[in-house]
């Protein structure tokens, strides 16, 4: 099976930088995704890592270390609208590709 | 078209009712998924269809019955549900094969079983 851990909640101030960590243990690893989900809405795709290193996309960056089973999502220049749940998800290929989500990190951005 | 469309957005049904949730995408994705999400919990995989064939059924009770009539449509037939089945039901689609193919999610159907 898969085990994906991330902090339950984080708080940060508008304009600051926040890093959300995710650790995973899985077999058949074939990529790690980060999704943002506002309350009552569908998850929206933020980033994807399959090789070690940093992927940057505007205010969002994601890092992966496969040997450590570790990823983080870095959010810069935080805005109030960034208050949401951030889901770490691992793609596993075992004949068929499936995406398994961590429990999500609720980020609250305050003024 | 880069969307997954789910209908209805909200559904209230009794425990003896039969209803269906519908999902549609026109992105040419050949993999489609049903997820269930309870409040403050992550989405949990229910079913995976690949090339219109059921690939994975994550031990979902038989009161949930998926159907994939064609490559663009995915249904979830509901019968004799329980109040604990109340949740947000999310449909998603993706390309198949390798690569950074994230899932595109629909906006979900908020189901309440009374």
Q: What's the whole-number mean pLDDT along residues B42-49?
A: 92
Rounded CA gap, B58 and A89, in Å?
A: 17
CB contact under 8 A, A42 and B102: no
What pLDDT, on the 0 to 100 scale, is given for residue A27?
84
3-state secondary structure of A95: coil
CB contact under 8 A, B104 and A97: no
Q: How many contacts, defined by CB atoms under 8 Å, are there between A and B?
A: 51
What pLDDT, on the 0 to 100 scale, is given for residue B101?
67
The string of pLDDT tens digits covering residues B89-98 is: 999 998 876 5
What pLDDT, on the 0 to 100 scale, is given for residue A18?
98
* Residue pair B76/B64 in contact by the 8 Å Cβ criterion: yes
- Identify which has the larger pLDDT, A36 or A95: A36
Q: Residues of B with CB below 8 A from A24's CB?
A: none
Q: Residues of B with CB below 8 A from A98's CB?
A: 45, 48, 56
Q: Is the confidence at residue B100, as pLDDT, over 60? A: no
Given pLDDT bands bounded at 50, 70 and 90, which one contains residue A1? low
- The string of DSSP codes covering B28-91 is ---EEEEEEE-TTS--EEEEEEETTEEEEE-S--TTEEEEEEETTEEEEEEES--GGG-EEEEE
């Amino acid at each position: 099976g898969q085990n994906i851990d991330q902090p339950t909640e984080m708080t940060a101030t508008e304009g600051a930088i926040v890093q959300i960590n995710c650790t995973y243990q899985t077999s058949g690893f074939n990529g790690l995704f980060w999704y943002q989900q506002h309350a009552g809405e569908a998850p929206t795709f933020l980033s994807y890592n399959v090789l070690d290193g940093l992927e940057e996309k505007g205010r969002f960056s994601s890092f992966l270390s496969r040997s450590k089973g570790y990823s983080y999502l870095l959010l810069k220049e935080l805005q109030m609208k960034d208050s949401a749940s951030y889901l770490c998800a691992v793609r596993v290929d075992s004949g068929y590709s499936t995406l398994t989500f961590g429990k999500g990190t609720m980020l609250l951005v305050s003024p | 078209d880069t969307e997954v469309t789910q209908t209805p957005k909200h559904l209230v049904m009794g425990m003896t009712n039969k209803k269906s949730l519908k999902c549609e995408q026109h992105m040419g994705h050949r993999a489609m998924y049903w997820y269930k999400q309870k409040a403050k919990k992550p989405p949990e995989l229910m079913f995976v269809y690949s090339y219109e064939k059921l690939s994975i059924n994550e031990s979902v009770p038989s009161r949930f019955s998926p159907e994939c009539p064609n490559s663009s449509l995915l249904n979830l037939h509901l019968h004799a549900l329980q109040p604990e089945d109340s949740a947000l039901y999310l449909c998603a689609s993706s390309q198949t094969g390798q690569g950074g193919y994230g899932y595109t999610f629909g906006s979900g159907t908020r189901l309440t079983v009374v």
